[in-house]
Amino acid sequence: MRIGVLTGGGDCPGLNAVIRAVVRKGVSVYGHEFVGYRDGWRGPLEGDTMPLDIQAVRGILPRGGTILGSSRTNPIKIEGGVDRIKENLATTGVDALIAIGGEDTLGVAKQLYDRGVNVVGVPKTIDNDLSGTDYTFGFDTAVNIAMEAIDRLHTTAESHHRALICEVMGRHAGWIALHAGMAAGANVILIPEKPFDIERVCEYVESRFRTRYSPIVVVAEGAHPIEGQMELQAGELDAFGHVRLGGIGEMLAKEIEKRTGKEARTTVLGHIQRGGTPTAYDRVLATRFGLQAIDAAHEGDYGKMVALRATDIIRVGLDEATAELKTVPVSRYSEAEVFFG
């Protein structure tokens, strides 16, 4: 077989580990040939390919990012996009695609499968918000990066007696904020799933100051206040209709200063959470996903996504994988609230 591989959406640590596992097993065990599509769905849309053999994947296991490049191209929104992809696959003799991505990339994969394209999906997102899998690779690395940053913020906050706000990624799901905040001993954690009361946040801040320690507030970029409490800014939309977020941390700092009289500063981690070498956990998980993905393609088990359930790698339908986002349940957030203030 000739199999195409692409990585779509935001990059994250572990993508190269998946590519490496797919190619190594696909070539050495099954004798398949591989084509790398550059920059997500733009690759098969425009026929932009690169060679993908064992030599091409040597040494990439510890590297962050993706050797294939990525983009937020949405072929479904482009007139004739699906037909162009099918034509380009046929022209290059590609029998199947392995698409590595999050909700948007796999959503496109599901629609292409429904229209006759042979696709296998691999779940990738630092947000850990895909419902079909217990964990996605990239999440553990992002949480550890955020945790280390918050650990450092504690010392400088206490030296200057400031409230420090750390803004982390998380558009619709607050998993990074929850895990990093709990691991680093944050005094308040704010997530998209639960609108926050700014007055209550300020009470936590003042309570922390009374202990002669400085408060650390961890906020996901998609967190928002109870309606009417603070004015939020709207950003531009990407190709999948998502608003470009950012700025909640700075708005929180201004409100905390205004309401408490205490100095507040914001640190936005942003793309630092996506970069750099993956943790051991993410390298192993990504490798196992890649091995299972090439097995599925070899067996012709298309329309599936590989997933982690407990400690096993299984396959679930792309429809199940993209049906809904996996958000933080009330019970998990309640565990963190014990340590607020």
Was 10 annotated as part of a binding site? Answer: yes
Was 129 annotated as part of a binding site? Answer: no
Was 171 annotated as part of a binding site? Answer: yes
Neighbours of 33 (CB within 10 A): 16
77 close to 101: Cβ distance less than 8 angstroms: no
Q: Describe the crossing of helices 15-28 and 280-299 by its angle, rounded to 10 degrees.
A: 40
Q: Comparing C-alpha atoms, which of 270, 248, 257, 269 is closest to residue 163?
A: 257
Was 282 annotated as part of a binding site? Answer: no
Was 221 annotated as part of a binding site? Answer: yes
Q: Give the span between the Cα atoms of 136 and 5, in whole angstroms.
A: 18
Was 198 annotated as part of a binding site? Answer: no
291 close to 17: Cβ distance less than 8 angstroms: no
Q: How many residues does the chain have?
A: 341
Was 31 annotated as part of a binding site? Answer: no
Beta bridge partners, 119, equal 97
Was 265 annotated as part of a binding site? Answer: yes
Contacts of 209 (CB under 8 A, 6+ apart): 161, 163, 215, 262
Catalytic site positions:
127
Was 20 annotated as part of a binding site? Answer: no
Was 162 annotated as part of a binding site? Answer: yes
302 close to 98: Cβ distance less than 8 angstroms: no
Binding residues for diphosphate: 10
Annotated binding-site ranges for Mg(2+)? 103
Q: Which residues does the annotation place in the binding site for substrate?
A: 125-127, 162, 169-171, 221, 265, 271-274
The binding site consists of 10, 103, 125-127, 162, 169-171, 221, 265, 271-274
